[in-house]
């Protein structure tokens, strides 16, 4: 890089910023400052000035700030995390960790619009990450927008076809839309890629029950409990179905 001209170096830094490679862009800017300080001052290079200002705005937060935010999150101080992360996201809009922590805290606090906004920011910064699209899709579904959620999940699965959590979330979206057969298919796909996925077994059981297929539903609940014996919801679903079909069996 040190053999590049100022123009070449700055173009390189600008390209890095466009790709979200903020740390690399900062390294380039600092090298240019150190090597070409006199030239930059004498030329008053406008592009450099703009990039330098942009680079300062995009500086990532110190590790101690992120560490404190994580401690708050792990301690269950979700509302405090949301308030602090919103402030930090304005100062450091290219910090994936801040946006992700904000999104996760907002989901757990049922502040879904904040979660959606946070995960949208993550997808813009990492458009090729299947996790970011899956998180956005799940937040959209939880907020009552299953159709939009499915579109995000399709992107996640296009990037990573063997993504069980994305198939599971898609199953939930289809179930919300009353598309029971599609939901069953999605849960089945999730289980193909994660055979011990207790939540997928439980929700597939719910979908099968809606279809009137009680025996297969019971089997799904049993599998959910096999892989997670402490799964209260699956146990309740199993017990309720046994009670419901008991008279019919007699």
Q: Find tokens 């690399």 and name the residue.
A: 24
Rounded mean pLDDT of the chain? 84
pLDDT for 46: 46
Question: Which residues, at least 6 apart from 122, have a Cβ–Cβ distance to it below 8 Å?
Answer: 96, 99, 100, 103, 129, 132, 135, 136
Tokens of 189: 């796909």
Tokens of 89: 């996201």
Mean pLDDT calculated for residue range 68-74: 87
pLDDT for 21: 61
Tokens of 186: 């999605």
Nearest residue to 190 via CA among 173, 209, 210: 173
Q: How far apart are CA 20 and CA 74, in angstroms?
A: 27
Question: Which residues, at least 6 apart from 56, have a Cβ–Cβ distance to it below 8 Å?
Answer: none
What residue segments make up the domains of the chain, in order of their start?
Answer: 6-57
Tokens of 164: 């069980």
Mean pLDDT calculated for residue range 229-244: 94
| Local confidence band at 72 (pLDDT 50, 70, 90 cut-offs) | confident
pTM of structure: 0.72
pLDDT digits (tens, 9 = 90+) for 117-152: 999 999 999 999 999 999 999 999 999 999 999 999
Which region among 26-30, 69-73, 141-145 has the lowest average model confidence (pLDDT)? 26-30
Nearest residue to 167 via CA among 139, 194, 186: 186
Which region among 54-68, 78-92, 128-142 has the lowest average model confidence (pLDDT)? 54-68
| Local confidence band at 75 (pLDDT 50, 70, 90 cut-offs) | confident
Is residue 58 predicted with pLDDT exceeding 70?
no
Which region among 10-24, 102-116, 148-162, 172-186 has the lowest average model confidence (pLDDT)? 10-24
pLDDT for 61: 74
| DSSP three-state, residue 3 | coil
Label residue 208 left, alpha or beta by phi (over 0 means left) and psi (-120 to 50 means alpha). alpha
Mean pLDDT calculated for residue range 225-231: 97
Q: Who wins on pLDDT, 47 or 239?
A: 239
Is residue 33 predicted with pLDDT exceeding 70?
no
pLDDT for 45: 41
| DSSP letter assigned to residue 9 | H
Report how far apart, in Å, the C-alpha atoms of 16 and of each of 10, 12, 146, 192 are: 10, 6, 35, 39
Q: Helices then strands (H, E): number in the chain? A: 14, 0
Mean pLDDT calculated for residue range 218-222: 97
Tokens of 250: 């007699």
Kindly report each contact of residues 111-116 with a partner whose C-beta sits within 8 Å and lies 24 or more positions away, as own/partner.
111/82, 112/139, 112/142, 112/143, 113/143, 114/82, 114/86, 115/139, 115/142, 115/143, 116/140, 116/143
pLDDT for 47: 42
Is residue 194 predicted with pLDDT exceeding 50?
yes
Is residue 60 predicted with pLDDT exceeding 90?
no
């Amino acid at each position: 890089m040190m053999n590049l001209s100022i123009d070449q170096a700055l173009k390189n830094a600008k390209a890095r910023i466009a790709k979200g490679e903020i740390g690399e862009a900062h390294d380039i800017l600092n090298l240019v400052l150190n090597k070409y300080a006199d030239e930059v001052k004498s030329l008053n290079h406008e592009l450099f000035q703009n990039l330098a200002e942009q680079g300062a705005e995009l500086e990532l937060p110190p590790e101690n700030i992120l560490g404190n935010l994580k401690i708050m999150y792990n301690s269950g101080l979700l509302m405090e995390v949301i308030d602090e992360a919103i402030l930090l996201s304005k100062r450091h809009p290219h910090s994936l960790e801040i946006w992700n922590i904000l999104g996760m805290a907002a989901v757990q606090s049922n502040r879904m619009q904040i979660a959606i906004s946070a995960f949208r920011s993550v997808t813009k910064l990492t458009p090729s990450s299947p996790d970011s699209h899956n998180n956005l899709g799940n937040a959209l579904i939880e907020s009552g927008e299953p159709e939009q959620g499915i579109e995000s999940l399709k992107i996640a699965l296009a990037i990573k076809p063997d993504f069980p959590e994305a198939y599971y979330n898609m199953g939930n979206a289809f179930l919300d839309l009353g598309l029971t057969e599609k939901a069953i298919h999605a849960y089945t796909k999730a289980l193909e890629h994660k055979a011990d996925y207790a939540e997928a077994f439980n929700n597939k059981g719910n979908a099968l029950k809606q279809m009137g297929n009680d025996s297969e539903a019971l089997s799904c609940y049993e599998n959910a409990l096999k892989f997670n014996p402490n799964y209260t919801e699956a146990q309740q679903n199993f017990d309720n179905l046994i009670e419901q079909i008991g008279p019919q069996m007699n």
